[in-house]
Amino acid sequence: MDAVVQPVADSAAVTDFIRRWKGNAGSERANFQPFMLELCALLDLPTSDPGDAKNEHNSYVFERFIAPQRADSTTEKRFIDLYRRDCFVLEC
């Protein structure tokens, strides 16, 4: 017997989401987090965790700190837009 796949969001909710965000000219800094939170809600996915002062505890967060080492052995301070350990890194 074939499994029936149920849509996560109804078409009106998808249409509203697209209408809200399509053509938005605001900055990434201002819009990335609300966009991702609304997308997660639309798709019924878990949202990120609050950031922790100890970076190693930040397994699913916005703006996860990284300090990549340069060729001269110095490091630079950078941030990943959205990070989920063992799953994905999302950079816009």
Plot region of 56 (φ>0 → left; ψ -120 to 50 → alpha; else → beta)? alpha
Q: Does position 27 have pLDDT exceeding 90, yes or no?
A: yes
In a domain, 14, yes or no: yes
What's the confidence (pLDDT) of residue 10?
86
Q: Please tell me the distance from the alpha carbon of residue 85 to that of residue 92, in angstroms, as a whole number.
A: 18
pLDDT tens-digit series, residues 28-80: 999 999 999 999 999 999 999 999 999 999 999 999 999 988 899 899 899 99
- Expressed as residue numbers, the domain containing 42 is 8-47
Domain count, the chain: 2
In a domain, 3, yes or no: no
In a domain, 1, yes or no: no
Q: Does position 9 have pLDDT exceeding 90, yes or no?
A: no
Residues 68 and 86 in one domain: yes
Residues 54 and 20 in one domain: no
In a domain, 84, yes or no: yes
What's the confidence (pLDDT) of residue 92?
83
Residues 75 and 43 in one domain: no
Element (H, E) at 82: strand 78-84
Q: Does position 26 have pLDDT exceeding 80, yes or no?
A: yes
Q: Does position 3 have pLDDT exceeding 90, yes or no?
A: no
